[in-house]
Structure formats: structure tokens, C-alpha cells
Structure 1
Amino acid sequence: MSTSTLKPLRPDLQLIADWIAPGSRVLDPGCGDGALLAYLKTHKQISGYGVEIDVDNIVHCVENGVEAIQGNLEAGLAEFGDGRFDHVVLSQTIQAMRNTEQILLEMLRVGREAIVTFPNFGYWQNRVQILQGHMPVSETIPFEWYNTPNIHWCMLGDFERLCAKNGIRVIERVVMDNGKRIHFLPNLLGSPAFYRVAREA
């Protein structure tokens, strides 16, 4: 796909792209239509693969010039060898995984570094909606309680404790609101959250 036909990335995907060095080997489990990998191939000459469960999204990946295989992340990443990738990206998906801890460990088995993003449940708008007597619905949580694929809500501290438990080092954390980085009270004022993590040396 030529550069001219690529759509601009969403702000959250652009932040992830900015973290990935040119020429990297990238795995994107839950890659959707392959927009991130297509951008990285064109602009940063990466080599990489997507993993996606939805057949229609696999078709979109092919149309976007992205190599993708159909697979269920809950089964792990056994088809990929240890240390095969520089970056493994899991964007807005980890909260929908049943085996959250295992997929995080698998990402850092096959990759030198993992990039994980998720909606921060501690965001002030979520808290207000809970006080009003109902589960939050927002731009980063666009589902009602009865049809959501999300099963493991967390806040910044929850994810960081999971990392510490498993000997995983947080390299960088960014929390955003409406495309802008939040530095003051990020657990209250920001969603979504972005993490770069790696195994402790």
C-alpha cells in the first residue's frame, strides 16, 4: 500500500508508533484491520506480523499489505519463538483477556519489549457514572455492561502491581485525555493508559 493511501493513525496508535524504532521486528496480537502495522511498514520499514481472531479483519489486513494469521490470543503465542520480536503490541485488548497475566508473560517471552494500552477505569468520568448508579460508557469504554467484551477492568496501580509481581519493569507510562498527555493526577484525569514494559535484567 502506498503512503498516499494510508489513513492517518488514531492518536493512540500514533503514540505507539512513535515508540517503535525503525527497522524493528513487531508482533501485533489483536491487530484489528492492520492499520498500525501498515503504517509502521511504510514509515519505519519494520517487519512484522499481526494475530487476529476476526476473519473480516484478516481480510482488511491483507488489503493493507499486512501479514496476519488467524489466532486466539487466549491460547497464547506458542507459534512464535523466544525473543523473536523487538516489540509486541497489545492495544486496548488486555482488559478483554481471560488470562491477562499469562498473555503479558507470553508477550515478553517472544518480545524484548511489550507495549500495552488499556482504558483506565479510575478515570474521573467513569467514577461519576458509577456514583450515578450505572456502569461507565465512554469513548474508551464504548459498551454497555450487558454487551461488553471487557472482563478485567483495572487502574494504573493495578497494572503496575501485576508487572511488579512478575518481575516486569515499566520503561515508560503515558496517560492521555482527548489526545493530550496528562501529567497531574493521571489515574483520575486520564484515559487511556499506555505502557512500555520489559523483563527485569
Structure 2
Amino acid sequence: MRLEAITWDRLGDLLAERVLALEPADGGLRPRIALDGAPAARAGDLAERVSDALRVRGRPSLVVGTEGFLRPASVRLEYGHHDVESYYDGWQDTGALWREVFDPLGPEGDGRVLPDLWDPRTDRATRSPYAELPPGGALLLHGPFLLRHWFPFDLTVHLVLSPGALRRRTPESEHWTLPAFERYETEADPSGTADVLVRADDPRHPAWTG
């Protein structure tokens, strides 16, 4: 696979251009974009760059992170704080993401999206107000393991790190999560199935598939 060097700013601009050209496959009015990657890949930073680039072009967007849709600690940590299987399969509240994010943006949706539901630090509901995403506005959803849940994305971007870079850039206290990302690459093949692949081993010098 051929990768081209690019700057983060330029990448945000080019992805915004891709978003502007999208027509949701299911006939909806609001394109849904995945920015998928391990926390160390900082997909949220890229989502914000794309959002800024869209705003300059007159297109509204909404950045949502899956860290705001984790299950309560009593569910996430039922089998311990370092259970890889739970982290991979049970931490994200995918039902809430469908109900509060994807359904409102579908063909029959009203565009009222809940930007987050649960604060994992306080282990309480965030009580955030709903955000209105007008027709033509884009959802920029970032987080890990996004390409294994059959979410109805119109554009998928996967930020990939080599195993060495992933280990270096992941805090030592979170190294127990690394086998989950190895499993994700093997089972879901995000590097092979994403519409756009971004290599982020060097945070200063990304490369992408163009």
C-alpha cells in the first residue's frame, strides 16, 4: 500500500473536501464520518481539524467522542480493571450510540444528537444538552474499534500505529489494552477496509493513502 507524506493541517483540509462531496448512502441528510484509532493515535485531534476546515467552508459539523458513551463502571469493570475481553467487547455503549447519535441522523431523524452520555471520571450521567445538527451538517465520530459495529458511516478514516509506536505512545498504565488493538487489526482489518488510512507513527509527520 502506497502512503504519501502530508501535514496534519493539509490532511484536515483534504478530508473536509471529501466530506463536502459525500451523499449519505441511506438517503439521509447528514453525512457520518468515522475517525477510528487507538487513543494514542489522537483521532479526536484530527476530528477537530476536519471540523475547523468544514467551518471555514461554511459547513457545520459535530465532533463526538466515544469516550462519552462508555458504560457505567459497574458494567465496564465487572471482570476487573484490566480485563482485555471486556475492554474490547463491553466498554462502549453501542446501544446508546445508535439511539442518541445515529438514529437522529438517519433518513427519518431530526438531527438532535446527544454529544455525550456518561462521564467515566465521575461515573455519572453528563446531562449534556442535545446539539442540533442541521441538514448538510456532518457527524465526526472518533474513538477506537469503530469499524466493527456496523455503524452506518459514509466515510471511514483509520489512524494506524505500528505495534512499536502504539506501545511507545500508550501510557504504561494502559499497556494492558494493547492486545485488544492487536485483535481488532486481525479480526476487523480496519487498515484494509477503511476508506482512508492514515499512518501516525510519527506524530509530527503523518502519511496517508490519498
TM-score (norm 2): 0.30
Going by fraction, where is helix more abundant, 1 or 2?
2
* More contact order relative to length (CA 8 Å, sep ≥ 6): 2
TM-score (norm 1): 0.31
Going by fraction, where is strand more abundant, 1 or 2?
1
